[in-house]
Amino acid sequence: MKTFQVESLRSELRKKTVKAATARWNANPDDVQRSVIKLVLTLIEFLRKLLERQAIRRMEKGTLTPQETENLGLAIMRIEETIHGLAAQFDLKPEDLNLDLGPLGRLS
Amino acid sequence: MKQIAGREAQQIIEHADASLLDIVDHVLNMGVVITGDVVLGVADIDLIYLGLSVVLCSADRVEAK
Amino acid sequence: MLYVYAILDSKPKDLRCVGNAGVFAAVKDVEECPAIDESSLRDHDRIVRQLAAESHAILPARFGSIVEDDDALARLLSTRASHWQRALQMVAGREQMTLRVFGNRVAPPENTEGGPGTRYLSAKLREIPSLDALRPFVRAEHVERHGAPPLLASVYHLIERGRSADYLAAVAEAPSGEVQFAATGPWPPYAFGRWEQS
């Protein structure tokens, strides 16, 4: 790998690796509302990513009709927009909605 | 494992060459997680452990059975 | 306390193990969780590779997998026995190649059929250009898309043991243009124990 490639791998690992093996959620008493919203949106975003992954798999395998593909894509796209919209209202970026859930893993 | 020490991992990542970065990625980010706990708490005090066991698979495979 | 290195389909030669009925965990008795430093990380990988060389099917454990005692581990193995058996079946006789994909963000294709929903899914699919030359080798694939260029994605491929040289040759021959590839391996199948593959 070239140097700039090594550095981008390093940068990605900085973000990814420094998480506890045990997922921790901590409600900050000064900002419980934002804490709760963050947890809820994280879990929903996790499920959305699962759904998206399966939809893409089915699309690749050809087990969806064109109409089903369209409906699925639209629905998942709208869920993503809604989640990000809600998150933004609480000053949360998409990257904030990523929690390592141990054996449930992380999808991104 | 209760907690991966964030700072220790950070240190290694900062100074690692390409081969060590790869090892860090495979050995710390992947591999089966033998115990899966979620810890819930308030104000930095751990209160509740959840032990999780979940099976995930594609719905159309389940239906085919 | 037990430090768990991997789950195997047969008993390890040099390490203690827990389990039965085709699902065994290779362990070491420890007083405390090892510190995260270069030598312990490399040791973990080295021991996992030794175990991989001796066994037909292996699921490497994450560094720092600690279980209280034999009973706790035996319970963990038996309550998810069918999951372990399926996961071991999938990695039997196989190893992992890791492919890093570098480049600028690939633009979604312009001519797509279908409405906005279909284009949305297609764009997500095409964010990583597929490597047709590698398809013949790939028994399972796990893709991680990353936040920002130049590292676009990491692709973890499960291949038959012994094919890594051919795989690397195919990567070297792949046309580079907007994207560049860097492959390492073979690795024990670190990426293939965590998810049910669908």
**Quick one: what percent of chain C has pLDDT higher than 90?**
48
- Residues of the domain holding C78: 2-91
User: In this structure, is residue C152 part of a structural domain?
Assistant: yes
Is the domain of C118 the same as that of C149?
yes
- Domain spans of chain B? 6-63
* Separation of alpha carbons A13 and A10, rounded Å: 5
| Inter-chain touch A59–C121, beta carbons under 8 Å | yes
Residues near C131 by beta carbon (within 8 Å), at least 6 away in sequence = C99, C170, C171, C174, C181
Q: Is the peptide bond before C150 cis (omega within 30 degrees of 0)?
A: yes
* Separation of alpha carbons A56 and A45, rounded Å: 16
| Inter-chain touch C36–B9, beta carbons under 8 Å | yes
Residue C12 pLDDT class (50, 70, 90 cuts): very high
Q: What is the mean pLDDT of chain A?
A: 81
Is the domain of C158 the same as that of C108?
yes
**Quick one: what percent of chain A has pLDDT higher than 90?**
28
Region C9-36: mean pLDDT is 92
What is the pTM assigned to this prediction?
Answer: 0.72
- Nearest Cα of chain C lies from the Cα of B50 at a distance, in angstroms, of 15
pLDDT of residue C146: 79
Is the domain of C76 the same as that of C100?
no
Is the domain of C79 the same as that of C103?
no
- On whether the CB atoms of residues C190 and B31 are closer than 8 A, the answer is yes
Task: Please determine, for residue C127, whether its predicted confidence score (pLDDT) is greater than 70.
Answer: no
Residue C50 pLDDT class (50, 70, 90 cuts): very high
Name which residue leads in pLDDT, C121 or B45: C121
| Inter-chain touch C63–B28, beta carbons under 8 Å | yes
pLDDT of residue C129: 55
Q: What is the mean pLDDT of chain B?
A: 69
Spell out which chain B residues touch chain C, with contact meaning CB-CB distance below 8 angstroms. 1-2, 4-5, 8-9, 12, 16, 20, 22-35, 53, 55-58, 61
Name which residue leads in pLDDT, C57 or C130: C57
Tens of pLDDT along A38-91?
889 988 888 888 788 888 888 888 888 899 999 999 999 999 999 999 999 999
Is the domain of C72 the same as that of C109?
no
Which of C114, C154, C180 comes nearest A66 by C-beta? C114
- A23-35 b/e (C-beta count within 10 Å ≥ 16 → b): bbbbbeeeeeeeb
| Inter-chain touch C36–B8, beta carbons under 8 Å | yes
All chains having 3 or more CB pairs closer than 8 angstroms to chain B: A, C
Region C27-48: mean pLDDT is 92
**Quick one: what percent of chain A has pLDDT higher than 70?**
82
Region C58-64: mean pLDDT is 92
- On whether the CB atoms of residues A46 and A107 are closer than 8 A, the answer is yes
Q: What is the mean pLDDT of chain C?
A: 86
CATH label of the domain that carries residue C182: 3.30.70
Is the domain of C109 the same as that of C98?
yes
Domain-terminating residue out of C91, C109, C131: C91
- On whether the CB atoms of residues C18 and C76 are closer than 8 A, the answer is no
Is the domain of C168 the same as that of C111?
yes
pLDDT of residue A20: 44
Q: What are the chain B neighbours of A54 within 8 Å (beta carbons)?
A: 58-59
Tens of pLDDT along C86-117?
899 999 999 999 999 988 765 555 555 678 88
Task: Please determine, for residue C38, whether its predicted confidence score (pLDDT) is greater than 90.
Answer: yes
Residue B39 pLDDT class (50, 70, 90 cuts): low
- Total domains in the fold of chain C: 2
| Inter-chain touch A21–C62, beta carbons under 8 Å | yes
Region C181-188: mean pLDDT is 95
Is the domain of C78 the same as that of C101?
no
Residue (of C196, C10, C14) closest to B57 by Cα position: C196
User: In this structure, is residue C198 part of a structural domain?
Assistant: no
pLDDT of residue B28: 87
Task: Please determine, for residue C4, whether its predicted confidence score (pLDDT) is greater than 50.
Answer: yes
Q: What are the chain A neighbours of B60 within 8 Å (beta carbons)?
A: 58, 63
